[in-house]
Amino acid sequence: MIVPTMAEMMAQGKQPEVLFWVGAAGSYDDRAKKISRAFVKILHAANVNFAVLGTEESSTGDAAKRAGNEFLFQMQAIMNIEVLNAYEVKKIVTCDPHSFNTLKNEYPELGGKYEVFHHTQFIQNLIAERRLKIDENTLQGKRVTFHDPCYLGRANEVYESPRDLIRRLGVNLTEMKRSKRTALCCGAGGAQMFKDAEAGDKEVNVLRTEDALETKPEIIATGCPYCNTMMTDGIKFKEKETEVKVKDIAELIAEANNL
Amino acid sequence: MQYLPNILFAIALIAGIGFFVINIRKLTRNIKLGKDINRTDNKSERWKNMIRIALGQSKMVRRPFSGFLHVIVYVGFIIINIEVLEIIVDGLLGTHRVFKGFLGDAFYGFLIGTFEILAALVFVAVILFWTRRNVANIKRFLSREMKGWPKNDGNFILYFEMVLMTLFLIMNAADPAFQQAGIGNPISKFIVPLFDGFSTETVHTIERTAWWIHILGILVFLNYLYYSKHLHILLAFPNTFFANLKPKGQFNNLASVTNEVKLMMDPDADPYATPAQGEEDVVPEKFGASEVTDLNWVQLLNAYTCTECGRCTSACPANLTGKKLSPRKIMMDTRDRLEEVGRNIDANGGAFKDDGKQLLNDYIKPEELWACTSCNACVEECPVNIDPLSIIIDMRRYLVMEESAAPQELNAMMTNIENNGAPWQYNQQDRLNWAKEK
Ligand code: SF4
Ligand code: SF4
């Protein structure tokens, strides 16, 4: 798989069309790495001239900021902004709604102004520009439900682009009783991913998985690597891994198109 | 002697309104204890929000049943103020139904008729509300924080409204001239037979008594607001006007931190440089919030506006899974503490005297704060655009930056970000390995 870096591009005197911000999960987490690879396959299929920062990428600081460590967040932000600005980055795409939110909303004030896309928005544009087509036969008729990531949905009011892509797969899209602006969190946000939950009578991801299972899905579609982990764990907890798969929309598109 | 009722009325009115004004002054003083924040940008969008959300109740009706009942009570409240205006003019001038001659029988009849129907609808709505609160076992009315005063307060308001509506109808029913005119009495005419066989004298006394208790009741109600969650009927308007307009995921970047970070990262900065003029005696700012006075005035206004409806809490993933966090409780605690600070200031001649307490720990526990996923469900749900999440984050900031009191795993996560640029313990040089794997 060819994944060019900004440094390589610069050495060749080239400027890519878009920077793919991979994020820490997309770089290191075994499950999320598959999402990064699926998305790169889509970028290649659509002939998008892209690059990543590679070893020059660092945490956006999202988790630190939600945990309350504004110092660490701003240090990360200022470092990242220096790198991004040195490469004269204009457009960024990411599969991680947390990176998306932070880069889009919190970096501008600190000197980092970019046009930022969630991968579902970016793919939607590729389709509109006729650079990509989705095969609607491969997954035809499968029952799919979509879990809205809080940082894409409520936080930035992006509800339609993931749904639009799912519909293009020719599948049967069902909605959970809590969806869009009333969607329930997967339980990972606000730095919860990195700590044990406070005492209660249930884990949030289990409750959310129950919401999803009520729709009797074959596939739970997600648009966030953390939601993906939480829902996958939920499905395991409910011992449903043979019947229900948790897949990122990028993976579903790559699969549909046999990439 | 002839003017005695007018004089008594004027005194009651002045006392009622005067006391209200004194309390509102205290309220604004308390809100101003908060830090300054600029919320005057984008005026047209702010007006639109206020009209849509506070006046138009757009977020209220997202829950159709309670939303519909609320709209009835709310419309009843607004329209009945025309009636109150007539009472005030009559009371001061010693006239009787002064608007009748003024507006003409037909229009006056139409108005009062509408009020009577609304009064009846409000009465029914209030009974349904009462049943929901006290009989129907609805989870958000039974939470931990809804014991004692918050529960009683909710019920008192409902009783108040029942009594006021009843008095209004009795007052109309016991007014023979009004009944004989046969205009605007679609409901009260059914009460009239109750007075059959009463002397003219008695009926008149009933009418006067109902009239007086009605207006005195309204004055008492006005003053009750300040002590009650019912304050939202006034504060919903400024609160929706000044609410956050930015994307919900966008948290503010603390400017005080930006300065320090820039200094730290700028190799040319001279840490011993003499501060620019005017900056000499700046007290180093406290990071985050541990007390109500560390919050900004919009957050404090939020606390006074909270209706304790619990819609936020009923959507909160942490609360739904049995954790201690309840965004409604965050708002109620903030208000309780702010009131306490206000009383302290009043008792100590205008200056706060340390009472050994603060919002953090004495009211809100770290365990509540750490359970938040920052999902914004509470913010989305609130019918009056309150932002409990902003308070939670400001308090987390205090715990982390001032007290280094984050849970152990979060400290590990933050150390990893600092050392490896990722929340996990991986080497930054391995960041691109995913591209080489299959
Ligand atoms: S943002 Fe926090 S307090 Fe609000 S609903 Fe989500 S978890 Fe609950
Ligand atoms: S914060 Fe809003 S939603 Fe929550 S109880 Fe108060 S008024 Fe209701």
Residues with CB under 6 A from ligand 1: B 315-318, 325, 327, 372-378, 388-389, 392
State pLDDT tens for residues A94-124.
999 999 999 999 999 999 999 999 999 999 9
State pLDDT tens for residues B98-109.
888 888 888 999
Across B265-271, average pLDDT: 67
The 3-class secondary structure across A70-104, one letter per residue, is HHHHHHHHHHHHHHHHHCCCCEEEECCHHHHHHHH
What are A151's two structure tokens? 């940082």
Q: Do B380 and A155 touch (CB under 8 A)?
A: no
- Specify whether the backbone of B350 is left (phi greater than 0), alpha (psi in -120 to 50) or beta: left
Mutate to test the interface with A, among B431, B433, B437, B438 (most CBs of A within 10 A): B431
Task: State phi, psi for A92 to the nearest 5 degrees.
Answer: -130, 140
Q: Using 50, 70 and 90 to split pLDDT, how confident is the model at B285?
A: confident
A199 touches chain B (CB under 8 A): yes
Q: Where are the alpha helices (DSSP H) in B242-387?
A: 255-265, 297-305, 311-315, 317-320, 327-347, 359-362, 366-370, 377-381
| B283 pLDDT more than 80 | no
The per-residue pLDDT for A42 is 98
Euclidean distance between CA atoms B422 and A63, whole angstroms: 10
| Ligand closest in space to the Cα of B154 | 2
Size of interface A-B (CB pairs under 8 A): 226
The per-residue pLDDT for B43 is 95
Looking at CA atoms only, how far is residue A248 from chain B in angstroms?
17
Asked whether B337 and B363 are in contact (CB, 8 A), the reply is: yes
The per-residue pLDDT for B256 is 87
Cβ–ligand 2 distance for B386 under 6 Å, the answer yes
Q: Do A110 and B325 touch (CB under 8 A)?
A: no
A214 touches chain B (CB under 8 A): no
Euclidean distance between CA atoms A37 and B437, whole angstroms: 9
The per-residue pLDDT for B105 is 87
| Ligand closest in space to the Cα of B318 | 1
Q: Helix, strand, coil proportions of chain B in percent (round to 5)?
A: 65, 0, 30
Q: Which of B374, B426, B434 sits opposite A190 (nearest CB)?
A: B374
Q: Which of A96-105, A227-236, B2-11 has the lowest mean pLDDT?
A: B2-11
The per-residue pLDDT for B274 is 56
Euclidean distance between CA atoms B143 and B426, whole angstroms: 43
Euclidean distance between CA atoms B181 and B416, whole angstroms: 83
Question: Which residue's entry shows tokens 């309670």?
Answer: B66
| B3 pLDDT more than 90 | no
Q: Which residues pair with B66 in a beta bridge?
A: none
Write the residue with the smallest CA distance to atom 6 of ligand 1: B375
Cβ-based contacts of A191 with chain B (< 8 Å): 374, 410, 413
CA of A230 to the centre of ligand 2 (A): 28
* Range picked from A228-242, B173-187, B280-294 for highest mean pLDDT: A228-242
Angle (nearest 5°) at CA B141 between B136 and B147: 120
Looking at CA atoms only, how far is residue B105 from chain A in angstroms?
50
H or E element, residue A172: strand A172-174
Across B276-296, average pLDDT: 78
H or E element, residue A247: strand A245-248
What single string gives the DSSP state of each residue in B220-238? HHHHHHTTSGGGHHHHHHH
The per-residue pLDDT for B273 is 59
Residues 229-258 on A with a CB inside 8 Å of B are: none
- Three-class SS of residue A146? strand
pTM of the predicted model over 0.90:
yes
Q: Do B434 and A33 touch (CB under 8 A)?
A: yes
Q: Helix, strand, coil proportions of chain A in percent (round to 5)?
A: 45, 10, 40
| Ligand closest in space to the Cα of B385 | 2
CA of A91 to the centre of ligand 2 (A): 38
- B145, B305, B384, best to mutate for ligand 2 pocket (most atoms within 8 Å of CB): B384
- Specify whether the backbone of B76 is left (phi greater than 0), alpha (psi in -120 to 50) or beta: alpha
| A148 pLDDT more than 60 | yes
Looking at CA atoms only, how far is residue A151 from chain B in angstroms?
6
